[in-house]
A and B are shown apart, each in its own frame.
Chain A
Amino acid sequence: MAKVKGTGMAAVNYPTGMNLGGDPSQALIHATTTGTFIISLSSTDLGQGLKTVLAQIGADALGVPVDNVMIDTADTDTGPHCMGTFASRATHRVGNAIIMAAQEARQVMLDVAADELEVSPEDLETDGQGNVHVVGVPSRSIDLVSLALAAHFKYAKTISGRGMFMKPKSEVDPETGAMDPDSTEAHACTVAEVEVDTETGEVKVLSIKSAYEVGRQVNPALVEGQITGGSVMGMSHALMETTAPYYPAIDHSPGSFSDYLIPGPADIPVIESVVLEYPSSNGPFGVKGVGEMTANSPIPAIVNAIYNAVGVRITELPVTPEKVLRGIEEKNGS
């Protein structure tokens, strides 16, 4: 008859990209007459913030301020093909496509600036503030608006670019399973602290503390959003959720938020994290996908913490109070 605390850990990897590859994405960039860069896509933002991070990647690949970059998505008439947002693929694939398109657009930009400034393109750099100037001589510069107007109306050039990224599709050896499933791996290690009520079997998660390695954070606040949201979803997966409470029977399947249990704001633990960056060899600026991984490591960490608390190793999800109590009873030999 007590509340017993326990700690558990879990360490996981998570692959980036549609399994086996063969999932292309394209991007088209064009500049308006006054130096706004429009990146046309057919990619979807599920709420994770794709439209924001892609603008950041585009801005740095072009060498222009992020406020000069607009993301135009999603319309299959105007946006080029994208396989979709899933498998932690979008920032990686679409980001790479944008970088490729940006390189082409940037070259045109520098060529026009070179003509205007009467230097060669190799002598120029972008300052990220909206100007192109001679390396080491910031006073010899041209701003993006002037540059765009010149391109359109003086040189008859389109500052635009095309990009595409695809990891070639890998076959799978039917006998050995040999395959190349992913572009890169992200990693997570979670330590969960729980409190188990030995009288009711209820488990309260006190804290979820994790280290994540994600290659490169394009937007740290949005990464943190995935960590916090994913930790809560992982906890939910471990302790609450089921569409088949009597699995494998199909009886009593929930049909509303009253009987499909998910956490409310009173259920959330303390969530702390540290993010490591070891740039991947093939992601845009070293990015690795992060959106799915964050819900994975909390699950076994919580289950392992329950074992640490009360010596009951639950092997079937969700961990319900009933399962905990039965486990305690069995352990005590009653």
Chain B
Amino acid sequence: MTEPKLNAVGQSIQRRDGLGHVTGKTIYVDDIKFPDTLHLKMVRSPVPHALIKGIDFSEAEKVPGFVRALTHEDVPNNIYTILKLIGVGPDEEPVLAEDRVRYQGEQIAAIVAESPEAALEAAGKVQLDLEELPAVFDVEEALKPGAPILKEWGTNYFVYEGHHCRRVRYGDVEQGFTEADYIIEGRYQTSPIEHAPTETTGCLVKPEANGRYTVYTNTQALFFSLDNSALILNLPFNKLHFVGGTVGGGFGGKVDVIVEPIAILAAMKTGHPVRYVFMRDEEMRVSSTRGAWRMYYKDGVMADGRIVARQVTSYADAGAYNRHTPYAVTKHAANVAGPYNIPNVHIDAHCVYTNRQPGSAMRGFGVTPASFALEVQMDKIAETIGMDPWAIRFVNAYRNGDIKPHRKEVEDATLIETMQAAAELVGHPLPEEYKAMHSNDREGGNHG
């Protein structure tokens, strides 16, 4: 069989959905309407850490248009299983809070009503009897003895196969530090931020005549959401039919399966279509953030610019629940030393729980904070030893065949070529020595 040529690949052809976008004909979740749809709004914790002593719905029930309330007792398997589906455990976040809440905004009860206004009014009239507990907000404070504990297993950190953090151990950093001409340290902190897509997270669930439920959703991962919903609701998987594929901005914020399970439950209980769409303040204050990250670097550097030892201790602020942060910490550990050839690397990457809005995936998950910290640290190194910032990158850049700290051989390396192209773009003159480098110029890599 002959091979096809490239005709379409490489061309700037017009977007398939472009005409729909410019005419307003593209359909998003909130544009889909069915008669007799009910609306779901959440009752959320006003405080960051508390025991739930009681919930009183009596005033809420009097609101005209109130249909029903849902609590954890209505949820067949009241636990998010998103980590199980990607092979990480344990799962520990309830769909609706049971005996306690661990962040301000955590969902406690769902109110279903005939209009969004009635649902909001009723949610506002639910009376919560909460016993506040001390809260912890700082990642290092959360790891100290005596800190308020968030998890049933008695600690505030995720356990990685028996360890309190994700470890990377390559070479011998202590030996590297003794050989180094300079020791350069740095502490870097990123802020939690919001995806802020123009379309908020949401779904519309429609009970079908044949006993199935069609879920119109802006999730970034349809089967992931379907599978998780089926597990939570103890439904055969083939009872659920997820429809989507057009998302008004995701950036990682629509992979937490946060609206579908409870909306499906409400549809099951009421027999009506149910809409659950985040309001903008929920999207900002409650939905997952990019969690904050704190990173400590200690580098051993030679006078000629080579980094011979890099030690990174980092703390991911997961917030109150795992979501996908344990996964990101592993990804972070694979990237936090940077695209550089360093013979001795020691990484301790922690996933820490605090009483805040949980973090989860966002564009660059785990790597964005690492790239920020390590590239500012590289400049600090350059300044300390009196080298040009470009030079410090060229001297340390990895090549194909090098071994990364997590022991994977480098392939598809193009850091050098990319830096050369950037220098040319901005008219920054590079010494001949750096212009002559390329990603295949180290014979045998750094195996030796």
Judged by CB atoms under 8 Å, the answer to whether A and B touch is yes
Q: Chain A residues in contact with chain B, CB under 8 A?
A: 8-15, 18-20, 22-23, 42-47, 49, 51-52, 55-57, 59-63, 65-66, 71, 73-77, 79, 81-87, 106-107, 110, 121-122, 124-126, 128, 135, 169, 172, 174-182, 184-185, 187-191, 209-213, 215-222, 230, 233, 237-238, 241-244, 247-250, 253-257, 260, 262, 272-274, 276, 278, 280-281, 285, 288, 291-293, 295-297, 299-301, 303-304, 307, 313, 315-318
Q: Is the CB of A255 within 8 A of B281?
A: yes
Identify B389's interface contact among A172, A187, A291, A304, CB under 8 A: A304
Q: Which residues of B contact A55 (CB under 8 A)?
A: 8, 16
User: A244 and B191 in contact (CB under 8 A), knowing A12-B371, A15-B335, A237-B368?
Assistant: yes
Q: Which has the most chain A C-beta neighbours within 10 Å: B191, B390, B415?
A: B191
Q: Which residues of B contact A276 (CB under 8 A)?
A: 414, 417-418, 421
Identify B371's interface contact among A10, A73, A77, CB under 8 A: A10
Q: Which residues of A contact B405 (CB under 8 A)?
A: 177
User: A260 and B284 in contact (CB under 8 A), knowing A278-B414, A315-B188, A315-B189?
Assistant: yes
User: CA–CA, A18 to B21, complex, Å?
Assistant: 29
Q: Which 6 A-B pairs have the closest CB atoms?
A: A84-B221, A74-B245, A177-B168, A300-B375, A174-B161, A221-B12
- Whole-angstrom distance between the Cβ of B413 and the nearest chain A Cβ: 7
Q: Is B399 engaged at the interface, CB distance under 8 Å to the other chain? A: no
User: CA–CA, A169 to B428, complex, Å?
Assistant: 42
User: CA–CA, A109 to B354, complex, Å?
Assistant: 58
- Whole-angstrom distance between the Cβ of B189 and the nearest chain A Cβ: 4
14 contacts between A and B (CB under 8 A): A11-B415, A15-B334, A44-B246, A63-B5, A71-B16, A86-B252, A87-B365, A122-B1, A128-B7, A174-B162, A175-B169, A218-B10, A247-B292, A248-B141
Q: Which residues of B contact A288 (CB under 8 A)?
A: 412
Closest A residue to B361 by beta carbon equals A86
User: CA–CA, A209 to B190, complex, Å?
Assistant: 23
- Whole-angstrom distance between the Cβ of A257 and the nearest chain B Cβ: 8
Q: Is the CB of A295 within 8 A of B364?
A: yes
User: A211 and B224 in contact (CB under 8 A), knowing A71-B16, A250-B137?
Assistant: no
Q: Which residues of B contact A295 (CB under 8 A)?
A: 363-364, 368
Closest B residue to A288 by beta carbon equals B412
Closest A residue to B137 by beta carbon equals A248
User: CA–CA, A57 to B4, complex, Å?
Assistant: 11
User: CA–CA, A295 to B8, complex, Å?
Assistant: 27
Q: Which has the most chain A C-beta neighbours within 10 Å: B9, B170, B317?
A: B9
Q: Is B443 engaged at the interface, CB distance under 8 Å to the other chain? A: no
User: CA–CA, A273 to B192, complex, Å?
Assistant: 28
Q: Which residues of B contact A60 (CB under 8 A)?
A: 4-9
User: CA–CA, A184 to B412, complex, Å?
Assistant: 6
- Whole-angstrom distance between the Cβ of B422 and the nearest chain A Cβ: 4
User: A182 and B371 in contact (CB under 8 A), knowing A11-B339, A13-B339, A121-B1?
Assistant: no
User: A307 and B379 in contact (CB under 8 A), knowing A84-B221, A175-B167, A256-B284?
Assistant: yes
Question: What's the tally of chain B residues with a CB closer than 8 Å to chain A?
Answer: 127
User: A46 and B247 in contact (CB under 8 A), knowing A187-B339, A191-B422, A256-B284?
Assistant: yes
Determine, out of B37-45, B146-154, B267-275, B325-333, the stretch whose residues face the partner at the interface: B325-333
Q: Is the CB of A85 within 8 A of B221?
A: yes
Determine, out of B72-80, B109-117, B236-244, B302-310, the stretch whose residues face the partner at the interface: B236-244
Identify A15's interface contact among B187, B194, B331, B333, CB under 8 A: B331
Q: Which residues of A contact B419 (CB under 8 A)?
A: 11, 189, 211
Q: Which residues of A contact B17 (CB under 8 A)?
A: 45, 51-52
Q: Is the CB of A52 within 8 A of B244?
A: no
User: CA–CA, A60 to B347, complex, Å?
Assistant: 44
Q: Which residues of B contact A219 (CB under 8 A)?
A: 11-13
User: A253 and B285 in contact (CB under 8 A), knowing A82-B222, A216-B9, A295-B363?
Assistant: yes
User: A12 and B375 in contact (CB under 8 A), knowing A55-B16, A250-B104?
Assistant: yes
Q: Is B35 engaged at the interface, CB distance under 8 Å to the other chain? A: no
Q: Which residues of A contact B235 (CB under 8 A)?
A: none
- Whole-angstrom distance between the Cβ of B238 and the nearest chain A Cβ: 9
Q: Is B22 engaged at the interface, CB distance under 8 Å to the other chain? A: no
Beyond A177-B166, A250-B104, list 11 extra A-B contacts (CB 8 Å): A47-B250, A60-B7, A73-B245, A83-B221, A179-B406, A209-B425, A213-B417, A216-B10, A253-B284, A260-B194, A296-B371
User: CA–CA, A73 to B339, complex, Å?
Assistant: 36
Identify A11's interface contact among B8, B375, B412, CB under 8 A: B375
Q: Which residues of A contact B87 (CB under 8 A)?
A: 22, 169
User: CA–CA, A249 to B357, complex, Å?
Assistant: 12
Closest A residue to B347 by beta carbon equals A177
Q: Is the CB of A11 within 8 A of B12?
A: no
Q: Chain B residues in contact with chain A, CB under 8 A?
A: 1-2, 4-17, 48, 86-87, 104, 137-139, 141, 160-163, 166-170, 186-194, 196, 219-224, 226, 240-252, 255, 280-281, 284-285, 289, 292, 317, 327-328, 330-331, 333-335, 338-339, 347, 354-357, 361, 363-368, 371-376, 378-380, 383, 389-390, 393, 397, 405-408, 410-415, 417-426, 428
Q: Which residues of A contact B248 (CB under 8 A)?
A: 47
Q: Is the CB of B406 within 8 A of A304?
A: no
- Whole-angstrom distance between the Cβ of B49 and the nearest chain A Cβ: 11
User: CA–CA, A80 to B422, complex, Å?
Assistant: 41
Q: Which residues of B contact A8 (CB under 8 A)?
A: 379, 389
User: CA–CA, A109 to B446, complex, Å?
Assistant: 48
Q: Is the CB of A210 within 8 A of B48?
A: no
- Whole-angstrom distance between the Cβ of A173 and the nearest chain B Cβ: 8
User: CA–CA, A297 to B161, complex, Å?
Assistant: 32
Q: Is the CB of A44 within 8 A of B371?
A: no
Q: Is the CB of A184 within 8 A of B191?
A: no
Closest A residue to B346 by beta carbon equals A177
Q: Is the CB of A22 within 8 A of B372?
A: no
Q: Is the CB of B247 within 8 A of A244?
A: no
Q: Is the CB of B375 within 8 A of A304?
A: yes
User: A122 and B2 in contact (CB under 8 A), knowing A243-B285, A248-B138?
Assistant: yes
- Whole-angstrom distance between the Cβ of B17 and the nearest chain A Cβ: 6
Q: Which residues of B contact A122 (CB under 8 A)?
A: 1-2
User: CA–CA, A128 to B7, complex, Å?
Assistant: 7
- Whole-angstrom distance between the Cβ of A291 and the nearest chain B Cβ: 7
Q: Is the CB of A179 within 8 A of B330?
A: yes
- Whole-angstrom distance between the Cβ of A44 and the nearest chain B Cβ: 5
User: CA–CA, A81 to B328, complex, Å?
Assistant: 23
Q: Which residues of A contact B169 (CB under 8 A)?
A: 175-177
Identify A42's interface contact among B222, B246, B331, CB under 8 A: B222
Q: Is the CB of A303 within 8 A of B376?
A: yes
Q: Which has the most chain A C-beta neighbours within 10 Å: B87, B383, B415?
A: B415
Q: Which residues of A contact B331 (CB under 8 A)?
A: 15, 19, 181
User: CA–CA, A172 to B327, complex, Å?
Assistant: 11
Q: Which has the most chain A C-beta neighbours within 10 Å: B196, B363, B374?
A: B363
Identify B243's interface contact among A45, A74, A248, CB under 8 A: A74
Q: Which has the most chain A C-beta neighbours within 10 Å: B141, B192, B397?
A: B192
Q: Is the CB of A43 within 8 A of B339?
A: no
User: CA–CA, A23 to B331, complex, Å?
Assistant: 14
